[in-house]
């Protein structure tokens, strides 16, 4: 998650205290603290989406553009991602543009 905090640099992040606090804030917001400790290869698609959402929230954005966040997720994980995005949107008071080609979710 911290790698997205300083997008203009290559390589592993060297986070200062402010950046580490921001990473902790967004992980708490998406309930992703324990997920962030696991290897990416061990995470389900829904768990990965949770951490990707955390990355998007670094730096307190006013708008989230989510392009196909439900792709390749089973119905249970689709529902949980939609609920998570809605909760975060309401808690932070931010605008969300959510693109999805599947009509059912």
pTM summary value: 0.82
The tens digit of pLDDT for each residue in 65-90 reads: 999 988 888 888 889 889 999 999 99
Euclidean distance between CA atoms 60 and 68, whole angstroms: 22
The three-point CA angle 15-21-27 to 5° equals 105
| Structural domains of the chain ordered from first start | 2-99 (3.40.50.300)
Identify the pLDDT of residue 105.
Answer: 64
∠ CA(29), CA(33), CA(36), 5° rounding?
A: 120
What is the distance between the alpha carbons of residues 38 and 79, in angstroms, rounded to a whole number? Answer: 23
């Amino acid at each position: 998650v911290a790698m997205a905090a300083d997008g203009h640099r290559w390589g592993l992040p060297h986070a200062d205290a402010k950046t580490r606090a921001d990473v902790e804030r967004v992980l708490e917001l998406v309930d992703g603290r324990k997920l962030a400790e696991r290897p990416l290869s061990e995470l389900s698609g829904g768990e990965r989406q949770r951490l990707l959402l955390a990355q998007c929230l670094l730096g307190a954005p006013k708008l989230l553009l989510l392009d196909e966040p439900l792709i390749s997720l089973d119905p249970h994980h689709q529902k949980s991602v939609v609920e998570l995005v809605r909760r975060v949107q309401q808690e932070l008071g931010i605008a969300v543009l959510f693109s999805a080609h599947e009509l059912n979710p």
